[in-house]
Amino acid sequence: MNFHGGDIYSCQGEVLDFSSNINPLGVPESFRMALCEKITDFTRYPDIQYRALRAELAEYLGFDDPELVIPGNGAVEIIYKTILALESARMINLSPTFSEYARAARQNGVEVIDLNIYDASFTDLDFSLLFAALIPNSLVVLCNPNNPTGTFVEREKMCFLARELAQKDCFLLIDEAFIEFTDHYPENSMIGELGHYPNVILIRAATKFFGMPGIRLGFGVSKNKQLIRGIREHLEPWNVNAAAVLAGCTVYRDQEYITASRAWVKEEREFLFHQLSKIDGLTVYPSKANYHLAKISRGKMDAWALKNRLLEKGVLIRTPDGFNYLSAYHFRLAVKDRPSNQRLVEVLREVLSCHG
């Protein structure tokens, strides 16, 4: 069963894919050029210690210790191995969120408590509900900004959470896979705070912001040496392939791509939000990321029916499958380029008004 976006492999014909929330600018040209030039990199095993890649990532993050940056075959691999290494008594999953956290915990025999501590508009989280569910050695997972709600926890509030969890002998995994899309990046990242919170691991990825989920490059960063060593022991050798190494050593220094992407996504997110807000029968939630959660607020059509109606018009949306605490009327929309966004608004208006 596929509970993820982007399953265009199951669709027929040309489709505007709003189900996969990745950078609309696509693969950076710098990477395309590097890949064609450095094809010979494939004739070698990757450096089993990934020295150059770790140094590059640390440099990008402004993080002082490359030894404590650990690259993975996508962020998902590091999330799985973190759970293996921590041997937590319990995972507290803050739903609705990315389904792989809970799947990873369950696969490794860790009990999952799935809490919805969001307010009705998904703009804030009530941590007191979370604290009540903690036992010592719990692992709390927080996607920031959160997928699919677009909610963002500011740095000060995140520090408060990390501090409280430390006092309760609990660990915090923060998935910042989408953070480069937020307006106040990099100041809002927890990267600069890691020294104060050895009970925190940060997860990042090239997947979303650099428009290349196909590359499978993610990494973990923590000041907790024991944890990083534990993750490393669970990783299989050469887990990151030469294409992903090359991507990591190229795109993070592509300042032009980074600047252009941030400007573009900000503008298009605001455009899309504004346009979607005007559609009758639709609620759209504010988001700090490159996607919007939305809800069919009138009529009987649910998200799956809407998906089918939109697919007839060549538009694919993300139904709520796999997201706990979303209703059958919620769905997620990626922010894409202007013509695509306009087309989306048009067909949504058409389908929802026909129905209403």
Binding span for a copy of itself by CB under 8 A among 162-170, 184-192, 241-249, 335-343: 241-249
- Near a copy of itself by CB under 8 A, which window of 36-44, 57-65, 116-124, 285-293? 36-44
Residues with Cβ < 8 Å from 136, sequence gap 6 or more? Answer: 89, 168, 169, 170
Contacting a copy of itself (CB under 8 A), which of 16, 18, 22, 91?
22
Taking a C-beta distance cutoff of 8 angstroms, is the pair 140, 170 a contact? yes
CA-to-CA distance for 195 and 84, rounded, in angstroms?
Answer: 23
The residue among 47 and 254 lying less far from a copy of itself, judged by its C-beta, is 47
DSSP output for 217-266: EEEEE-S-HHHHHHHHHHSPTT-S-HHHHHHHHHHTT-HHHHHHHHHHHH
- Judging by DSSP bridges, how do beta strands 291-296 and 282-284 pair with one another? antiparallel
x/- map, 176-215, a copy of itself, by CB under 8 A: -----------------------------------xxxxx
The residues, any chain, with a CB within 8 Å of residue 115's CB and separated by 6 or more, are 92, 93, 94, 95, 129, 130, 133
Q: How far is the CB of 189 from a copy of itself (least distance, A)?
A: 25
| Residue in 11, 39, 129, 354 binding a copy of itself, rule: CB under 8 A | 39
**Residue whose CB is less far from a copy of itself, 74 or 148:** 74
List of residues 6+ apart from 52 with CB closer than 8 A: 245, 249
Decide if residue 232 touches a copy of itself (CB under 8 A): no
Q: Characterise 111 by phi-psi region: left (phi > 0), alpha (psi -120 to 50), beta (else).
A: beta
Shorter beta-carbon distance to a copy of itself: residue 212 or 296:
212
Q: Which stretch binds a copy of itself (CB under 8 A): 7-15, 90-98, 184-192, 328-336?
A: 7-15
- Tell whether residue 241 is a contact of a copy of itself (CB under 8 A): yes
Distance of CA 52 to CAs 4, 41, 57, 229, 304, Å? 32, 13, 9, 18, 45
Q: How far is it, in rounded angstroms, from Cα 81 to Cα 240?
A: 14
Q: Is 261 in the site for a copy of itself (CB under 8 A)?
A: no
Q: How far is CA 78 from the centre of its chain?
A: 13
Q: With contacts defined by CB under 8 A, how many residues of the chain interact with a copy of itself?
A: 52
Among 88-96, 115-123, 231-239, 311-319, the segment contacting a copy of itself (CB under 8 A): 231-239
**How far is residue 249's CA from residue 349's CA, in Å, rounded to a whole number?**
43
Residue 40 binding a copy of itself, by CB under 8 A:
yes
| Among the listed residues 243, 265, 303, 344, the single contact to a copy of itself using CB under 8 A | 243
* Residues in 101-120 at the binding interface with a copy of itself, rule: CB under 8 A: 104, 107
Among 9, 13, 109, 187, binds a copy of itself (CB under 8 A): 9
If one asks whether residue 150 binds a copy of itself (CB under 8 A), the answer comes out as: no
Decide: is 2 part of the binding site for a copy of itself (CB under 8 A). Answer: yes
Pairing of strands 171-175, 138-143: parallel
Q: Tell me which residues touch a copy of itself (CB under 8 A).
A: 2, 4, 6-9, 17, 20, 22, 26-27, 31-32, 35-36, 39-49, 51, 73-74, 76-77, 80, 100, 104, 107, 211-216, 233-234, 236-239, 241-245
